[in-house]
Amino acid sequence: YVAIVCLNTYFALRYLPFPFIYLVIPLILAAVETDTKTVAFLIFLESLVIGVIIHMGFLKQAMSSENGLIFLNYLPILVTFVPVLVLSASMNFFRSQDRQKREIELALQRKHNDIQMIIDNMRALIGFWDLDLKNRFANRMYLDYFGWKSEDILGRHVREIVGDSLYAQNLPFMEKALRGENQMFERTLIDTHGQKRETLTSYVTSYRHGDIDGVYAFVTDITEIKKARRAESAAQERLQSVIDS
């Protein structure tokens, strides 16, 4: 830019009509592509070159002490520097805003990915259903349990996901949750492999700006806990029968 500004200033002042038009062009390009400090330096350099050219009499009508008002002929050149500085400051501001926006978006994306990874690796089925009982979110375990893909489950009604029978059983609890009453209950489910699973289900009301906008579903597989409890109960019964005998 330094070489372009110097050469452009020299040729514009010596050989071109209305030189201030041509002097602005490289400054505008610099304002678009660089920062304000660079543009300010180029303006200072261009002003210095203009002063040297005038002082050394390279112009067709050089400035002299007898006709000092000739300098006013070049006042438009100096005036054109003002909008260039304004443009540079504006471009610098928008670049800064755009950079901050990208940084915020990247930070939000990282947080989203972190939360998604945590939720996907939790030993629970987690989903969100809106006021129309249509899916807005499901973690990986939820998808695997009911045999759906993430791109297919979004926007589908809960009846399509869990089936008519389970939907009929869970609907009263979901309706209460949509009225602001959190629910917790046990339910026996049959997974996609045909295995019976004991679950503990929680429906938690979701609020947005003070209004109910849906319900979170948390389903925990307690099959092993139930088996352990039954085994413990059976062992206690056997022990009691031995004591009694």
pLDDT digits (tens, 9 = 90+) for 54-97: 667 665 544 444 444 455 555 666 666 777 777 777 777 887 88
> Pairing state of beta strands 135-138 and 183-190?
unpaired
pLDDT tens track for 13-63: 666 676 666 777 777 777 777 777 777 777 777 777 777 776 676 655 444
Among 217, 220, 221, 219, residue whose Cα is nearest residue 136:
217
Q: Which token pair is 158?
A: 């809960």
Radius of gyration of the CA atoms of the chain, in A = 38
Q: Determine if residue 84 is left, alpha or beta; phi over 0 gives left, psi from -120 to 50 gives alpha, anything else beta.
A: alpha
pLDDT tens track for 146-189: 888 888 999 999 999 988 988 999 999 999 999 999 999 998 88
State whether the Cα torsion 157-159-160-162 is positive or negative: positive
3-class DSSP state of 208: strand
Model-level pTM?
Answer: 0.58
SS3 content of the chain, % helix, strand, coil (to 5): 65, 20, 20
Rounded-to-integer distance, Cα 25 and Cα 36, Å:
16
- Helix (H) or strand (E) run with residue 130 in it: strand 125-130
- Average pLDDT of the residues of the chain: 81
Q: How far is CA 166 from the centre of its chain?
A: 37
